[in-house]
Amino acid sequence: MDSRDCQYFSYYSSSFPFHKQFLGQEANPEIFRECIRQDLHESDNFRMCIYKVQKCLKHYCNDWTSWPFTHQGEKACRRDPRKYNHFPISCPSYKFASCIKGDHCELCHGVFEYCLHPAKYRTILCQDGTSCNRPICFFAHTLKELRPETKYNWCYVYRYPLYIQSYPDIMIENGPNGNWMIIPCNPHLQPPLPISVMVLLLLDLEIVLILIPLKYANI
């Protein structure tokens, strides 16, 4: 096997469809290699764990949007979700400036890291459905592609400079006593939380944000 194919075959599994053009005829190595690339690049595992995570061996690429591997300074660059345990919530510090925690931050840095997070990727149907022509789409185009979403409750303590913004999963409101409260967007998903758990403490212009996956929550 050509050594340049090893990186593709290391991610290949029997779950990918067998291509009919190889039946009853001698396989063309170049066509076979391209089919393997296409299957791999469109698989959920590749998109979530490899796309814009693995460093490219080439130092320069004419069009970064057409190449799945990342280059130095590329804004779409992501952390490997298998190595870094970060929550599917946008980091306010990264959005407004730069996050001092860097790769050790517990929240997502950038659109690609948020939308390709295993808890979010393809958990919502694409509005264009099977007519979608985006080169890379973060949404499911059929019910078969739809993945279950991991819902989060409170669990992890995280501090950052005080910026308030709306998130897809939570709302932040000013409480009756001047304290900030964190409230689930869909209260029907779980029983009401006690006020002592919902209150966000303001400490020296920092917020204490507590998050945990619902499946691990003991409420």
pTM, full prediction: 0.55
Give the pLDDT of residue 8.
37
User: Within a domain: residue 14?
Assistant: no
User: Within a domain: residue 60?
Assistant: yes
Tell me how many domains the chain contains: 2
Give yes or no: residues 93 and 184 share one domain.
no
Give yes or no: residues 91 and 161 share one domain.
no
**pLDDT tens digits along 135-187:** 788 999 999 999 987 766 543 434 443 333 444 444 444 444 444 444 444 44
Give the pLDDT of residue 41.
57
User: Within a domain: residue 104?
Assistant: yes
User: Within a domain: residue 11?
Assistant: no
Q: What angle do CA 162, 96, 59 make, to 5 degrees?
A: 140
Give yes or no: residues 137 and 113 share one domain.
yes
Give the pLDDT of residue 90.
83
User: Within a domain: residue 6?
Assistant: no
Give the pLDDT of residue 188.
46
Q: Where in the sequence is the domain holding 136, given as residue range(s)? A: 27-64+75-150
User: Within a domain: residue 38?
Assistant: yes
Give yes or no: residues 38 and 80 share one domain.
yes
Give yes or no: residues 90 and 167 share one domain.
no
Give the pLDDT of residue 163.
39
Give the pLDDT of residue 122.
92
Give yes or no: residues 179 and 210 share one domain.
yes
Give yes or no: residues 145 and 155 share one domain.
no
Residue ranges in the chain modelled with pLDDT below 50: 1-29, 31-36, 154-219
Last residue of a domain, one of 118, 134, 150: 150
Give the pLDDT of residue 24.
44
User: Within a domain: residue 108?
Assistant: yes
Smallest CA-to-CA distance from 87 within 172, 215, 210 is with 210
Give the pLDDT of residue 38.
52
Three-state SS at 212:
strand
Give yes or no: residues 98 and 159 share one domain.
no
Task: Please state, in angstroms and rounded to a whole number, the distance separating the CA atoms of residues 90 and 166.
Answer: 10
Give the pLDDT of residue 215.
42
Give yes or no: residues 144 and 114 share one domain.
yes
Contacts 24+ apart (CB under 8 A), 31-36: 33/2, 33/5, 33/8, 36/5, 36/8, 36/9, 36/12
Give yes or no: residues 108 and 187 share one domain.
no
Give the pLDDT of residue 65.
67
Give yes or no: residues 92 and 132 share one domain.
yes
Give yes or no: residues 141 and 50 share one domain.
yes
Give the pLDDT of residue 58.
75
Last residue of a domain, one of 150, 179, 207: 150
Q: What angle do CA 195, 197, 202 make, to 5 degrees?
A: 90
Last residue of a domain, one of 120, 150, 180: 150
As given in the structure block, the two tokens for residue 31 are 């066509």
User: Within a domain: residue 174?
Assistant: yes
